[in-house]
Structure 1
Amino acid sequence: MNQGLGERWLQAAYDGAVWLRALRPLEAVYRWVLARRAAAYRDGRRHAWRAGVPVIVVGNVTLGGTGKSPLVAWLGRYLSERGWRPGIVSRGYGGKAGRGTGYPLRVTTLTPSAQSGDEPRMLARQTGLPVVVDPDRPRGARALLELGCDIIISDDGLQHLALGRDIELIVVDGRRGFGNGHCLPAGPLREPLSRLDAADAVLINGEATFAPPEGAYCFRLAPSSWRALSDNAVFPLAPAPFHGPVHAVAGIGNPRRFFDTLLELGIEAQPHAFPDHHRFTAQDLDFGDDLPVVMTAKDAEKSEAMALDQGWVLEVEAEPSADFQAWLDSRLAGLR
């Protein structure tokens, strides 16, 4: 697997490479800036806008994939089943709506991913809920209110303090944990680990290879079906709708998790890792043979126009533990 400079740095941060110690003076500056910003919101020098409806923030304290987006999709469906009218607001990383239709941008499956970013369009496809992209989270939340939403999910919104929140959920990758435990640029942390104490709940994706925070909940990502990239037809997980070895491509925060999942499904895959949010071209997916190409749902949003005859998408769903669902029901009851 070819890795760019950013991917190599991130791997070093999770592996605890010694050379990152040289960056700790810059980490101290980064943490000072974070502390000043948080203090400004606490003492009123900066104002957090309140939506007037419940706001649930789902985010993480680390760089790289944690399984946050599948959890957001699950949460949206879960709220709908309980009578809420949820909407999702997202930053839309990688999208260029500001150069086209402008913000706030209402996202559907017809919205070009170049405008919305890959994750918001994926969430719109998976949930059927109103999804709005806007780097100004309060403005995006107001757009959801105009669409009739009575509860808002802020995707990857932990560090966007301008939007007030009622529940904070922090998602952690059970395999990679917190790396070397240091903040940027000396480690993979967006915020110090003390930030976990302020969250309402911490959710660990998969079995933890570290001592989890006290009271943390668990969830898992479970493969659910295959989807044909050419026409979006859905097929059961087994038997797979293709045969033999495949090319597996992943432009996500943690490609290894996807490749390991394929291995667990008994699929012989040649792995091809790309940078997170990579915008695929036809050349990227041309491997000079007729083998099927399989990819994640997020990557499929950037590859749909290529209509590969043998392109397949592995759909996964978050499955939170029963105790987390009970905790969430209790909290939601207090927000009615």
Structure 2
Amino acid sequence: MKEPLFWSNTPTTPGWQAQLLAPLGRLYARATKSRVRNGDGYKASVPVICVGNINAGGTGKTPTTIALAQRLIGMGKVPHVVSRGYGGTLDGPVQVNERTHKAEETGDEPLLLAAFAPTWVSKDRAEGVRAAEAAGADVILLDDGFQNPSVDKDASIIVVDAHRGFGNGRCIPAGPLREPVAAGMARGDVVLSIGNEAAQTRFDATWSTEVSLPHAKGVLVPLQTGMDWTETPIFAFAGIGHPEKFFETLRGLGATLVHTEALADHQALPPAMLTRLYAESQKMGAQLVTTEKDAVRLPLEVRPQVLTLPVRLELQDWGPIDALLTRIGVTGQD
């Protein structure tokens, strides 16, 4: 989603737009509070860890889920991911097969996650958790759903973009939040801010008094694929929460971006659009490049024409999350 300018990246004296929408924001916050409070969630027989957020839109949940799944696998655990499958047509619960399913069926994020750990899509998250349990999961990672009460969570990691922080601190539509920061902190266990050093410094300066939970910090790092990004003009497109972050990553690798195309998060990639993108890139003598999440939405016959830049989350210190895992009984095998 494209954030209105008045949402800001820091708490400010509200402008007229935020003041006008403030009553609706309070109603939104009350509705979230009521939904969370009134839920009678399913209690799984194995630990359930929610990777969620307070902000609407992209904050880095998918790379966080991948990194956490890999951490658990390294500990000898068998994590399964349960996702709502945003944008997909499957009601579920269905285990995602990255070789046979398509993004329009499962949603793009589950199709990407399935390459790292068994992943389920289910519009009913509780049914998805039950299916994962029955299939042998000994830890379940709930992709999103922090404000959804249908599953009882043993722990919740609140993921936030360090650059944007919690915006102007106000709820939708007056700001970018699904609920007030304090309400989210009361239910969460760890805050994970994702961004470079400058963004982390800004986040600390702005939000440290609001972050009452253990705080982990991470950064998205491009995987080394052997590609020399300085040699080829790049035509980049991305349909993620904040496409500019992807473009900046390419620039940081020394790439010359002759054109960038920011799409909506999860936006479909119909043939007409792909034909246009390819034709324009050819006219500019540029190579099409996109994100991993966008790549899974490409038709198989188009993928050879598009390079993918994968990124992975690296944490400065796993200590806060490792301590959380220990507290809920998730430890490595002897």
TM-score band, normalised by shorter chain: 0.7 to 0.9
Q: What is the rounded CA distance, in whole Å, between the counterparts of 1:8 and 1:66 in structure 2?
A: 13
Counterpart of 2:107 in structure 1: which amino acid? G
One of 282, 288, 299 as aligned partner of 2:280: 288
Alpha-carbon distance, 1:329 to partner: 4.9
Equivalent-residue separation in structure 2 for 1:203 and 1:333 (angstroms): 20
Residue 163 of structure 1 corresponds to which residue in structure 2? 151
Give 1:15-34 correspondences, 5 Å limit: 18-34=16-32
Task: Write the distance in 2 (CA, Å) between the matches of 1:301 and 1:308.
Answer: 9
Count of residue correspondences: 308
- Three-state SS of the structure 2 residue aligned to 1:179 is coil
TM-score (norm 2): 0.86
**CA offsets per residue over residues 236-295 of structure 1, 9 Å max, x none?**
2x534x832111101010111101111111001121000110011233233434221111
Alpha-carbon distance change, 266 to 313 in structure 1, aligned in 2, over 3 angstroms: same
CA distance, structure 1, for counterparts of residue 75 and residue 331 of structure 2: 13
Q: Deviations over 1:24-75 (max 9, x none)?
A: 111121122222223323xxxxx21101100000000001211110010011
300, 306, 319: which one aligns with 2:314:
319
Verify the 8 A CA contact 2:219 2:313 in the aligned structure 1. yes
The correspondence for 1:122, drawn from 112, 115, 127, is: 112
CA contact (8 A) 1:30 1:184 kept: yes
Q: Structure 2 unaligned runs (5+)?
A: none
Q: Distance in 2 between matches of 1:177 and 1:289?
A: 34
Confirm or deny that 1:331 pairs with 2:327.
Answer: yes
* Contact 1:56–1:152 (8 Å) recurs in 2: yes
3-state DSSP of counterpart to 2:175: coil
Contact kept in structure 1, 2:235 and 2:281, CA below 8 Å:
no
> Deviation per CA, 1:147-184, whole angstroms, max 9, x where unpaired?
11111000012111110111110001000111111001
- Larger mean CA deviation between 304-313 and 194-203 belongs to 304-313
Larger CA deviation: 108-117 vs 26-35: 26-35
* Distance in 2 separating the partners of 1:123 and 1:302: 13
Q: Following the alignment from structure 2 to structure 1, what is the Cα–Cα distance between the partners of residues 108 and 30? A: 32
Q: 1:49 to 1:289 in 2, by over 3 A?
A: closer
Partners of 1:151 and 1:245 lie apart in 2 by: 44
Distance 1:334 1:146, change over 3 A: closer
1:204 aligns with 2:198: no
Q: Distance in 2 between matches of 1:274 and 1:69?
A: 18
Whole-Å Cα distance in 1 between the matches of residues 31 and 306 of structure 2? 45
CA distance in 2, matches of 1:243, 1:308: 21
**1:77 matched residue in structure 2:** 70
Q: Corresponding residue for 1:44?
A: none
Distance across 2 between alignment mates of 1:60 and 1:287: 38
Q: Per-residue deviation at 1:191? A: 1.1
Say if 1:69 and 1:308 are closer, same or farther in 2 by CA, change over 3 A.
closer
SS at match of 1:19: helix
Q: Mark the CA change 1:105 to 1:63 in structure 2 (over 3 Å): closer, same or farther.
A: same
Contact 2:72 2:78 in 1 (8 A): yes
- Aligned equivalents of 1:22, 1:69: Cα separation in 2: 34
CA contact 2:60–2:194 (8 Å) conserved in 1: yes
Measure how far apart 1:198 and its partner are.
2.5
Amino acid at match of 1:122: L
Q: Is 1:113 matched with 2:112?
A: no
1:57 paired residue number: 50
AA partner of residue 298 (structure 2): S
Structure 1 residue corresponding to 2:244, chosen from 256, 271, 291:
256
Unaligned stretches of 5+ in structure 1? Answer: 1-5, 42-46, 226-234
Question: Which letter maps to 2:54?
Answer: V
Tell me which stretches of 4 or more aligned residues in structure 1 moved more than 3 Å: 14-18, 332-336
Q: Tell me which amino acid in the other structure corresponds to 1:62.
A: N
Partners in 2 of 1:116 and 1:38 — Cα distance? 26
| Letter of the structure 2 residue corresponding to residue 65 of structure 1 | G
Aligned to 2:235: 247
Distance 1:217 1:289, change over 3 A: closer
Mapped to 2, the partners of 1:169 and 1:32 lie a distance apart of 22
Partner AA of 2:187 in structure 1: A
